[in-house]
Amino acid sequence: MERRDFLRSGMRGLIIAGLTAISGVFVYRNYTTEETCEFTTPCQDCKSLKSCQKPEGLKYKRDQKASNNQ
């Protein structure tokens, strides 16, 4: 194997490992912790929110309704 190829395959391995680790942490966190982040700007400012059927949009609307009812 050439030096360049060796470095490239090493980098590929590192990137794959990094992506797997990050994905694993995020998925684990999603299922084991309570969501506390209040960041809602994308949905809040979206003009299509009223008719939105996307998971994030539905969740935002549900949360908004719940906080309004409190």
Which lies closer to other proteins via its Cβ, residue 2 or residue 38? Answer: 38
Site residues for other proteins per CB under 8 A: 8-9, 11-12, 15-16, 19, 22-23, 26-27, 29-30, 33-39, 41-42, 45, 47-48, 50-51, 53-56, 58, 65, 69
Q: How far is the CB of 51 from other proteins (least distance, A)?
A: 4
Q: How far is the CB of 63 from other proteins (least distance, A)?
A: 12
In the chain the first and final C-alpha atoms are separated, in Å, by 65
Q: How far is the CB of 14 from other proteins (least distance, A)?
A: 9
Q: What is the DSSP string of 6-45?
A: HHHHHHHHHHHHHHHHHHHHHHHHHHHS-------HHHHT
DSSP for residue 48: T
Whether the CB-CB separation of 46 and 57 falls below 8 Å is answered with yes
